[in-house]
Structure 1
């Protein structure tokens, strides 16, 4: 379907610009008339795109951009400003061109008679099923302002959680990369220098030194083969991880990694609790809430447990029963959920679980950093020491030869 650019005037005479997908210019005119605009200029969008415009258009919308949008919208709606006015105000303030277009298209869809939630469906890949479902529940209950405020706080909390996990893994990743660079430098540059020196002295190289020297030469002369092999290996691993079996295997393996698995399990329990609580407070049905939570929890193993919980609820059972049987959820969290179900305060109890595990994640991140650093240094130090030993053995042989 072709894209048209247009200029139009609203009922106050203000100029409005934008783009619209339509079969013809007449269709654009008709759509604008329904939205309350009088078209003044309509033309097919130019196919030529400037480099700067292209870069701006393909720049992804980051989660932080969306969080700012959620808070702005919740504040404006909470202040009693109509949804159309709120969206138009935010649209004029947003600098990200792609997000500006999304907000503009959503606003125009509402002006044409669609509900806010239905207008967001077009951009489900950006906003996510969770946000759209909560907006729909807010529209039905008449509590859209509270729902938006609740989701804004939820999105910010999840972003902070992701940053904590990234922060925990950042330092070990830097150490790993630095160690690999040092090892490659020693194997491809230093060892060949020593081997030349030993060869001129007529020394017979030990097997370890010869092995590392050969490996260094192969890496130096045929590095492109190694790069192709590594790329093929990464590609194959990613393709396998995208399959249902591969995803399940990788996610189960992640939960079994010492220290890291404990941290990630806490992250998933916190995400499950906070998401389900937020949806329930917003008025989304328990079955739909579990469906959405299953999709956003982020681990296939935990997701299957949530799916079983959903089936149990559908049959009139409790959420806590399949969680306890699975043994994937910590017992204290399961017991708190059971208490919440018994007392009718499930949302409050879920939020308490999420608060507790958010705090626990902070401690786990510090513990992970403290443990990983010395363990990693010992492992990489041992590898480098092994390589250095292969270089020093011939040196000792040379010293013995000179003494004799």
Structure 2
């Protein structure tokens, strides 16, 4: 398949510019003839530049763009409009280049005999849940409903991610402010005072000597700090691709006191919402668990829940399998037991999802209050340290001058 950038004249006389993949230039001509247009200009992108072109020019859509797109397809289908017209209209009206590309790419693939789910999978933009729900909708004849459910799920994911980011803004800002203030004192204020202290031949307290040593070390090796910080910033994304390192990072984040709570609640909300969605669509719990594994973003959580489907095949109940893991709370296990006994597993999964989502929202609202005493305590310790290190010798020096 070759990638072509081309423009053509539509039946209405408009010039439209698009890009797409075709087997050959002849296949492109056939495509333009099929839609009743006239090819105007064409450029074949060299194969070595295809990936660069797609990442820069086309890009990838945001989760919100995908949610709006599949919800739009659902509305068209629910209104009795064919999938072809839905994709055509949504593609023409899309402001996001990736969504526009995906819409017309899927339209072309449908004409070639692809199903909607297989076209989504081929394009690579769409999350696993959307593809899974599209397959279920195609098999059950309720594609409009399953796509709507998938869009609702993506909206919930967006809300949880947004809530998580809001929850982490305050501690991140506080930490960076403290580090910035400390660097300012070490780099600019302290060197000026050190000269004053040494010229007076004063006997300096331990705190002052420690601060001077830190200042001298920072002044001598500041470039090392800069290089290390830049190295961490630029190499960390690559290190995360190493499985063992990524697992260690995810495990550490999972176990952290406050940030870990937000991550745990967010992952649980995703997990149970996903399971509820697939279960309500008629997917067996074993298949749902296997599908779910591709949607989990925390490797520690993934490794833990990856054992569930194997235990179910061995004859264990879901609630019993969850007991052997260290990631699920007792209330989640208890609600699963009730769902298995009463047969309303879908409702219990949905309740669990809403419960954990509410916990994330609550954490966002109170995290400032939770971290405030910690931040104030840390600032207080720094203030005391600076008082002992700087103000005390200055006070002694002024006292000597008055004698």
Return the offset for 1:324: 1.3
TM-score of the two chains, using structure 2 as the length reference: 0.88
The answer to whether the Cα contact below 8 Å between 1:138 and 1:283 also exists between their aligned partners in 2 is no
Task: For residues 45-90 of structure 1, give each alpha carbon's deviation from its aligned partner in whole angstroms, at most 9, with x where no partner exists.
Answer: 478x9xxx99972654222222222322222222222111111111
Q: Quick check: 80-89 or 288-297, which moved more?
A: 288-297
Cα distance change of structure 1 residues 389 and 55 upon mapping to structure 2, 3 Å threshold = farther
**Structure 2 Cα separation of the partners of residues 342 and 13 of structure 1:** 65
Aligned residue number for residue 363 of structure 1: 362
TM-score of the two chains, using structure 1 as the length reference: 0.88
Q: Quick check: 214-223 or 133-142, which moved more?
A: 214-223
**Structure 1 Cα separation of the partners of residues 127 and 36 of structure 2:** 30
**Structure 2 Cα separation of the partners of residues 128 and 26 of structure 1:** 33
Task: For residues 379-404 of structure 1, give each alpha carbon's deviation from its aligned partner in whole angstroms, at most 9, with x where no partner exists.
Answer: 13312431342111221220232133
Aligned residue number for residue 264 of structure 2: 265
The answer as to 2:106 corresponding to 1:91 is no
Return the offset for 1:8: 4.8
**Structure 2 Cα separation of the partners of residues 376 and 343 of structure 1:** 47
Aligned residue number for residue 63 of structure 1: 63
Q: How many residues align?
A: 398
Q: Quick check: 205-214 or 154-163, which moved more?
A: 205-214
Aligned residue number for residue 314 of structure 2: 315
**Structure 1 Cα separation of the partners of residues 40 and 402 of structure 2:** 95
Aligned residue number for residue 153 of structure 2: 154
* RMSD between superposed Cα atoms in Å: 2.9
Aligned residue number for residue 20 of structure 1: 20
**Structure 2 Cα separation of the partners of residues 115 and 399 of structure 1:** 84
Aligned residue number for residue 250 of structure 1: 249
Cα distance change of structure 1 residues 220 and 71 upon mapping to structure 2, 3 Å threshold = farther
Cα distance change of structure 1 residues 97 and 241 upon mapping to structure 2, 3 Å threshold = closer
Aligned residue number for residue 127 of structure 1: 126
**Structure 1 Cα separation of the partners of residues 163 and 316 of structure 2:** 36
The answer to whether the Cα contact below 8 Å between 1:281 and 1:347 also exists between their aligned partners in 2 is yes
The answer to whether the Cα contact below 8 Å between 2:9 and 2:40 also exists between their aligned partners in 1 is no
Return the offset for 1:167: 1.0
**Structure 2 Cα separation of the partners of residues 168 and 143 of structure 1:** 38
Return the offset for 1:293: 1.3
Return the offset for 1:109: 1.2
Q: Secondary structure of the residue that 2:66 maps to in structure 1?
A: helix
Aligned residue number for residue 399 of structure 1: 398
The answer to whether the Cα contact below 8 Å between 2:58 and 2:97 also exists between their aligned partners in 1 is no
Aligned residue number for residue 336 of structure 2: 337
Unaligned runs of 5+ in 1: none
Q: Which runs of 4+ in 1 moved over 4 A?
A: 7-17, 35-39, 53-56, 233-241
The answer to whether the Cα contact below 8 Å between 1:209 and 1:391 also exists between their aligned partners in 2 is yes
Return the offset for 1:96: 1.5
The answer as to 2:190 corresponding to 1:191 is yes
**Structure 1 Cα separation of the partners of residues 235 and 147 of structure 2:** 41
Q: Secondary structure of the residue that 1:290 maps to in structure 2?
A: helix
**Structure 2 Cα separation of the partners of residues 128 and 385 of structure 1:** 52
Cα distance change of structure 1 residues 58 and 203 upon mapping to structure 2, 3 Å threshold = farther
**Structure 1 Cα separation of the partners of residues 183 and 38 of structure 2:** 65
Q: Secondary structure of the residue that 1:6 maps to in structure 2?
A: strand
